[in-house]
Amino acid sequence: MEIVEWKDRRKNRGITDSGLTHECGVFGAIGNKHWPCNSEIAQFICIGLEALQHRGQESTGIVVSEGTNDYHYHKGMGLVKHVFSNESISKLTGSLGIGHTRYSTSAKSEQVNCQPFVVHSMHGALAVAHNGELVNAAILRKQVLDRGVGLSTHSDSELITQALCLNPPDGEVNGPDWPARIRHLMQLAPLSYSLCLMLKDKIYAVRDPYGNRPLCLGVILPPNQELINGEIGNIQPEGWVVSSESCAFLSVTRYLREVLPGEIVEMTHAGLKTIDIVPPPLDKSLAFCIFEYVYFARPNSLFEGQEVYAVRVHCGMQLAIEHPVEADMVGSVPESGNAAAFGYAQQSGIPLGELLTKNSYVGRTFIQPNNRLRQMNVALKFSPILRNVKGKKIILIDDSIVRGNTVGPIIKLLRRAGAKEVHIRVASPPLKYPCFMGINIPTKDELIMNKLKNTKEFAKQVDADTIEYLSVDGLVKAVRKEIKPTTKSVGHCTACLTGEYPGGLPQELDW
């Protein structure tokens, strides 16, 4: 039954499996008690969401509160800059709020699925923004439906919202105990989410017990003040923020720390407070998504105390160690392979240079192109730089290869531009398994390394001289190289590479 449910969920979300896609970004902000109750908090969140736009371009939304149950919100399909006009922002008055960006392509009912999700409950208004995917959504959904609740969408957000509204099993005597409800939900559904919940005058920032999805905290500084050794000290902050990634902490905002796996942080006008830390189920270890490092996050974001860019450089260096090759120049598929190419060049001593230039305006696709037009469309996106390619032996670095559709045409372009040798180096291991924790991965049959015997066959197919991947061990090593010993309980999810799911999950599924 669950298998059906998995397939159904994907179908119902209109997933077309066109590549790796993120599962969203969340951002919340709350001013201190002096923060003016105008639209500035909404603008603040809006800028934060733009910095998280890479995590989802399908839809976006912001909900703000003036500290009462009368929320203002605006949601819509498309990019942050298109959904929020000056007019729509100006109506979002408040002193706290949460926002969301959502991934993927659209289906007929998508407008309904825009987050944050808002409901009126018997204990006031509740808004929910969610990054991740409930692994046991089917079970939780059944529980909610069995209580007699109708669900109007297939989204995890609505499910989480209604699950929080239903009484906690042991009842509540003196009004609602939201932390208890959140804790209860986390026990029912330990994987995977980073959540922002808004309740009247509070925001709860919650990360699942496995720490699978990222979430971090920041502080809004007063003018001309600065953290000392990363500590607030005597500063009176102007407000606090929570974000999927620290790349959204801009200008006056400073990074404080990550929300810990399983942590419930209460954000009020007075500051941040840890309410509880829910551990993962017995005998399970932490499982932060390793692909956040490899592919999803912005290079300047911080996870586990280190910069993503630095990790990617280490991946490139490790790749040079594992798969060296003689060449005249190392370059990347812009811009995703830049950091790894830098690392590979540094480790190997081969000069670093641009091999391809990218056209950022590309987008038109024709319904039924003939072959001539189809080839032109591919060529439109990347163009070889003759100076660095012609007559040269080159190493082209990419961060990952999913279906392998693009590498062939790119090599063709490079060959036609006169490349003498083309060596492909991939700064992560081959993708082989599905993700049930918020990342869309194409079906098994579409993953290139499930279709081919080995990288030799792959190289032959796409006319590369060689193709080599980083090993799983190499990746883990690169990821952990700079993590400080003080960082608690490190653990990474490599399920899509190894099939080893956190919590011993459904790797037996015929996905």
What residue numbers does the annotated binding site for Mg(2+) cover? 336, 398-399
**Residue 406 touching a copy of itself (CB under 8 A):** no
| Minimum gap (Å) between residue 130 Cβ and a copy of itself | 15
**Between 163 and 496, CB nearer to a copy of itself:** 163
Query: Rounded to whole angstroms, how far apart are CA atoms 139 and 10?
Result: 16
Residues 411-450: x where in contact with a copy of itself by CB under 8 A, - otherwise, as a string? ----------------------------------------
Phi, psi of 387 (to 5 degrees): -55, -35
Helix (H) or strand (E) holding 395: strand 393-398
Tokens matching residue 9? 């969920």
Q: Which two tokens stand for residue 415?
A: 């060959």
In the complex, the smallest distance separating the C-beta of residue 374 from a copy of itself, rounded to whole angstroms, is 9
In DSSP terms, 277 is beta-bridged to 263
Please report whether residue 119 would count as binding a copy of itself according to CB under 8 A: yes
Q: In the complex, what is the shortest distance from the CB of residue 297 to a copy of itself, in angstroms, rounded to a whole number?
A: 11
Q: Which of 16, 106, 109, 461 binds a copy of itself (CB under 8 A)?
A: 109
Kindly tell me which residue out of 50, 66, 258, 304 binds a copy of itself, with binding defined by CB under 8 A. Answer: 50
The distance of Cα 315 from the centroid of its chain, to the nearest Å, equals 19
| Residue type at position 198 | M
**108/484 with CB nearer a copy of itself:** 108
Report 234-293 residues binding a copy of itself (CB under 8 A): 247, 250-253
DSSP alpha helix (H) spans, 349-506: 371-381, 386-389, 407-416, 448-451, 455-462, 472-480, 495-498
For residues 342-401, which are near a copy of itself according to CB under 8 A? 342, 346, 351-354, 357, 359-364, 366-367, 369-373, 375-380, 383-388
The verdict on 151 binding a copy of itself (CB under 8 A) reads yes
| Residue that has been written with the tokens 């905290």 in this structure | 217
**Interface of this chain with a copy of itself, residues 309 to 328, rule: CB under 8 A:** 309-310, 313
Can you tell me the distance from the alpha carbon of 159 to that of 157, in angstroms, rounded to the nearest whole number? 5
Extract the tokens encoding 151. 């669900």
User: Which CB, 288 or 342, lies closer to a copy of itself?
Assistant: 342
Residue whose CB is less far from a copy of itself, 111 or 443: 111
User: C-alpha distances in angstroms, 263 versus 266, 280, 377, 437, 488?
Assistant: 10, 11, 47, 18, 13
Per CB under 8 A, which region of 14-22, 150-158, 205-213, 228-236 contacts a copy of itself?
A: 150-158
Residue 43 near residue 89, CB atoms below 8 Å: yes
For the CB of residue 318, give the shortest distance to a copy of itself in the complex, in Å. 15
* Residue in 117, 240, 293, 501 binding a copy of itself, rule: CB under 8 A: 117
Beta partners for 255?
218
Task: Enumerate the known binding-site residues for [4Fe-4S] cluster.
Answer: 289, 435, 493, 496
Report in angstroms how near the CB of residue 452 gets to a copy of itself at its nearest.
26
CB count, 10 Å around CB of 323?
21
State yes or no: is 24 an active-site residue.
Answer: yes
Residue 145's identity, in one-letter code, is: L
Q: Which residues contact 11 (CB under 8 A, 6 or more apart)?
A: none
Residues labelled catalytic? 24
